Amino acid sequence: MPKEPTPALTREICAFALETRIENIPVEVLARGRIHILDTLGVALAGAKAEASGIVRDHIEALGAAGQARIFGTGVRTAPRFAAMANGTAMHTDNFDDTSPQAAPDRNGGIHASAAALPAALALAEERGLGGAAVSAAYHVGVEIACRLNHAVDNRHYQGGFHTTGTLNVFGAAAAAARLIGLDAARTSHAIAIAASQASGIRANFGAMAEQTHAGHAAECGLNAADLARRGLTGAADAMEARFGWMDAASLGGGWVREAICGRLGRPWAFEDPGMSIKPWPNGALTHPAMTLVSRLRREHGIAPEAVEAVSVRTNARVRDILVNDAPADAMQAKFSIPFAVGCLLVEGHAGLAEFTDETVARDDVRAMMARISYTAYEREEPGYTNLTTLVEIRLADGTVHKDRADQAVGGARNPMSWDEALEKFRGCCAYAGMDAARADGIAAMVAGFEDIPDIGALTARLAG
């Protein structure tokens, strides 16, 4: 009896993962990728200081797994799966990592794809002595697959409570790993099916440490899936698109959008359309249009904190339903709080890693400013509004009103950071991590020529503690 062909979705994912040549990735996409790799390594070094990262490292060290893959910011070497978990957690723990938005304006749920694809690719490449070109191709393949799956799954997936960074990134990481391991199409298909049974992550954990591990967990599970497939573990050929398969189950009864991924992988690349954003602030990206406006209005009009009488922030209801922490109890909850983000900017003039702390959240002057901030959903979306359109009005004690609208944030997909802008952020992250400027610039110089690195271990050695 002839073997049934692999279903179309899985077949396309596998072919794209294995057959994409780095020579055929547009030079502009590779250049954007290097900027995002630099940014992701920077937030990993800063994130290695976070409590959640330390807990994950303690857990991994207690397991005693042998391996050559480095955990960044430390001297620890371990098995690739655990390095991917630790480094992916560090990359996402401060919510400072890049974001790929939804392609449609009426959908929520971007994805932090670099924080899963990159640690998976780096850990495997370091273990196997591979170079920057191999890592770059695997990274781009992994990011592309995760992003296009995010555009294809029904919006009920995110709205119903799943966190795309945890659920969808496992497929990108599995595809990147399959490529680097050298699996054939059949075993890559099994890896994707195995990954489908490991994809997880819920939005209820926003503001808790568990959410900080979502990208790292996806990276680890992707490596696990590829390694299990390499050893002969099998999965259903139609696990992705069968009835009761992953796309069906993840869409919670809605119909997934086949044309958003089938025939779209690399046509164009997600780095090109809808683009990828780099965060100027270490919190939820949906707060950034408001922060962009408040930062500019404060600077242009010289607004002093004591002069502020009231602030109104309005977004669409979909965003409002995500940013629910109006009175955050700690720094983790503050990551998804408009009143804290805006209040901190008005009081301090900036809102960086040093400000997102439990101490800042508890400060009397910050709490007093937060009490003056109202955050509501506007009743109607006007023509020209994007999913991120935010309206801000600042009323001063003397009756003066400053107001503005933002459809995108600084560093957003439509307003991307340049290499120099990302380098400034990278240097700040390295300084926060306690790294000297010369060492930071040495890492940046290597990333600038990422595809030419002969052995990726030369780079990861500089990222170790």
Domain residue spans of the chain: 8-279+425-463, 285-406
At 386 the pLDDT is: 85
CA–CA separation, 293 and 154 (whole Å): 32
Pick the CATH number of 285-406 from 3.40.50.300, 3.30.1330.120, 3.30.365.10, 1.20.58.220: 3.30.1330.120
pTM of the predicted model as reported, rounded to 2 decimal places: 0.93
Task: Quickly count: other Cβ atoms within 10 Å of residue 75's Cβ.
Answer: 8
pLDDT at 1 exceeding the cut of 60: no
Give the whole-number percent of the chain exceeding pLDDT 90.
91
Average confidence (pLDDT) over 402-417: 93
Q: pLDDT by residue (tens digit) across 265-315?
A: 999 999 999 999 999 999 999 999 999 999 999 999 999 999 999 999 999
Q: pLDDT by residue (tens digit) across 22-68?
A: 999 999 999 999 999 999 999 999 999 999 999 999 999 999 999 99
Please check whether residue 285 is in contact with residue 323, taking contact to mean a CB–CB distance below 8 angstroms. Answer: no
CA–CA separation, 331 and 19 (whole Å): 44
pLDDT at 413 exceeding the cut of 70: yes
Average confidence (pLDDT) over 324-351: 96
Confidence band for 6, pLDDT divided at 50, 70 and 90: low
At 42 the pLDDT is: 99
Please check whether residue 335 is in contact with residue 356, taking contact to mean a CB–CB distance below 8 angstroms. Answer: yes
Question: What is the amino acid identity at position 289?
Answer: P
pLDDT at 5 exceeding the cut of 70: no
Q: Which residues pair with 373 in a beta bridge?
A: 311
Tokens of 277: 């954003």
Helices (H), 335-463: 338-348, 358-362, 364-370, 419-432, 437-448, 457-463
Mean per-residue pLDDT over the chain, rounded:
96
b or e along 232-260 (b: 16 or more beta carbons within 10 Å of the residue's beta carbon)? Answer: eeebbbbbbbeeebbbbebbbeeebbeeb
At 295 the pLDDT is: 97
Question: What does CATH list as the number for 8-279+425-463?
Answer: 1.10.4100.10
At 4 the pLDDT is: 47
At 2 the pLDDT is: 39
Tokens of 431: 């300084």
CA separation (Å) from 38 to 16, 447, 448? 25, 6, 8
Give the whole-number percent of the chain exceeding pLDDT 70.
98
Q: pLDDT by residue (tens digit) across 352-373?
A: 999 999 999 999 999 999 999 9
Confidence band for 3, pLDDT divided at 50, 70 and 90: very low
At 35 the pLDDT is: 99
Same fold, 8-279+425-463 and 285-406: no
Q: pLDDT by residue (tens digit) across 200-258?
A: 999 999 989 999 999 999 999 999 999 999 999 999 999 999 999 999 999 998 889 99
The larger pLDDT score, comparing residue 106 to residue 59, is at 59
